[in-house]
Chain A
Amino acid sequence: MNAPFFKFGLFGDNVSLIMAFLIGIGFGFFLERAGFGSARKLTAQFYLTDLSVFKVMFSAIVTAMVGLFYLSWIGFVDLSLVYATPTFIVPQVIGGLLLGFGFVIGGYCPGTSAVAAATGRIDGMVYLAGIIAGLVAFGEAFPMVKDFYYATPMGQVTLPELLHLPYGLVVFLVVLMAIGGFAGATWVEKSMAVKKGTLRA
Chain B
Amino acid sequence: MKSFLTNLTLNKKLGLLLFVLGFFALFAGSPYKGSGVTLDAKELAAIVQTETDHVSAEELAGWIIGGKSDYRLVDLRSEVEFAQYHIPGAENIQITSLPDYGLLRNEKIVLYSEGGIHSAQAWFLLKAKDFKGVYMLRGGLEDWKDLILFPRLPANASPDQRAAFEKTKEVSKFFGGTPQSGLSDEAPSVALAMPKLETPAPAAASAGAPVKKKKEGC
Known: A81-B106, A172-B23, A175-B18. A73 touches B28 (CB 8 A): yes
Whether A79 contacts B18 by the Cβ 8 Å rule is no
> Is B31 engaged at the interface, CB distance under 8 Å to the other chain?
yes
Whether A167 contacts B30 by the Cβ 8 Å rule is yes
Q: B residues within 8 Å of A by Cβ?
A: 11, 15, 18-19, 21-23, 25-33, 52, 70, 105-106, 132-133, 216-217
Q: Which residues of A contact B106 (CB under 8 A)?
A: 7, 80-83
Whether B22 contacts A66 by the Cβ 8 Å rule is yes
> Is A191 engaged at the interface, CB distance under 8 Å to the other chain?
no
Describe B's contact surface by its main secondary structure: loop
Closest 7 CB pairs of A and B: A175-B22, A171-B25, A72-B31, A168-B25, A81-B106, A83-B216, A85-B217
User: Can you sample 7 A-B contacts with CB below 8 Å?
Assistant: A8-B132, A69-B31, A70-B28, A85-B217, A166-B26, A166-B30, A176-B19
Q: Which residues of A contact B23 (CB under 8 A)?
A: 172, 175
> Is A62 engaged at the interface, CB distance under 8 Å to the other chain?
yes
How many residue pairs bridge A and B at CB < 8 Å?
A: 82
Describe A's contact surface by its main secondary structure: helix
The size bracket of the interface on A is 20 to 34
Q: Which residues of A contact B52 (CB under 8 A)?
A: 9
Q: A residues within 8 Å of B by Cβ?
A: 7-9, 13, 62, 66, 68-70, 72-73, 75, 78-85, 166-169, 171-172, 174-176, 178-179, 182
Q: Which residues of B contact A166 (CB under 8 A)?
A: 26, 29-30
Known: A81-B105, A81-B106, A81-B132. A72 touches B26 (CB 8 A): no
